[in-house]
Amino acid sequence: MSNFSIFVYATGRKTDKISVAVRSTTKVKEFYKQVCERLNVPQNITTIFFATTILPQTSNDTLDDFSIEQNSTLTLCIQVSGGSIQEQRNIHPSVKRSKGKCIFTFEDDDSVSIRVEMSCGHPVTPIGLAEYVDNEIKMGKTVLQCPSCKKEWRIPDIIKRGLTLSEREALEVGLAKNSFDQKDFRECPRCCVAIKKTDTGNKMNCNFCKSKGYSYTFCWTCKNDWKSTGTSYYVCGNDTCAMNTELQKVLESCETKVIDNIKVPKVRACPSCNKAIEHRHGCRRMVCPDCKIQFCHICLQTSNADPKRFPCYSTPCKSAAARQILQ
């Protein structure tokens, strides 16, 4: 097969158009190498188009397989970070290079990307590692493991393998935020300050927001704005909140028992704060451990202090209040 010339536009360079002598049997990966050497640009930041088709950098297909022929015009693009300076990926000198295939991208061509060895021995590309770490953080993970052997990766070891400064920041901050839930912390949705839970309620008042001159209350469970206008410390008023749905299921499906010859649900929500309270033994008068209000387990009428002020104190309850529906 005789040689023929095709033209390549190098976008963004003074050399608008170059002619490259190739054969129809030239492999695409060899063509990439030839063009990049001619233009003196790194191959790993280039992409070549033929019309709307992208030529894969490591492809063993020939130019003829893509219908590229004499006088065809291709376009070469040089990849840069849009709108910002591209961050450097600095790999620590102590990190071993690898010739193996990346467990994330399956890349094994040195001309496209280097691979480094993780502490467990598996090879990764820095970009593949960064994308994996970002995904794990978004899934709420607090421990990062090799997906192949399940061995834990230490954070300093991950950083040494080519994470950029912004990726390192996202990793460290993300792990801290993910650990909040395990250590009784939540991030205020408004000011992003971490708040520690100090009681059993679900209603959180952000003191940092208060110090800045505005009041903000959110739900510990669903992290949404607190919508309930009642006295509840547990039910936030958001339909999608797990606390609402779980408590409602308990109230609707709990077992029943007989108190003062009246059949009632074993579990009631405190009429004041909605804390779930189970009647185990004793009389019908209950005291909420959270808001301290007293109420009748049968009819749900309340008394703030003196039990004798119960409407049903002197007159026994005639019937039980229906199973509660949270408001």
What are the structural domains of the chain?
A: 4-78 (3.10.20.90), 97-179 (3.30.40.10), 247-309 (no CATH)
Q: Are 307 and 286 in contact (CB under 8 A)?
A: no
Strand extents, DSSP E, the chain: 4-10, 17-22, 46-50, 53-55, 73-78, 97-98, 115-117, 123-124, 185-187, 194-196, 203-205, 217-219, 256-259, 262-265, 267-269, 276-278, 285-287, 294-296, 302-303
Q: What is the pTM of this model?
A: 0.45
d(C-alpha 170, C-alpha 186), whole Å = 18
d(C-alpha 323, C-alpha 312), whole Å = 19
The sign one gets for the Cα dihedral 113, 82, 53, 128 is positive
pLDDT tens digits for the chain (327 residues)? 456 666 666 655 555 577 778 888 888 888 888 888 887 777 777 888 888 888 888 888 888 888 888 888 888 777 655 555 567 888 999 999 999 999 998 888 877 789 999 999 999 999 999 999 999 999 888 899 999 999 999 999 999 999 999 999 999 988 888 887 666 788 888 888 888 877 767 888 888 888 888 889 998 888 889 888 777 777 888 878 877 788 888 888 889 999 888 899 999 988 877 888 899 888 888 888 877 788 888 888 887 655 556 667 667 787 778 888 776
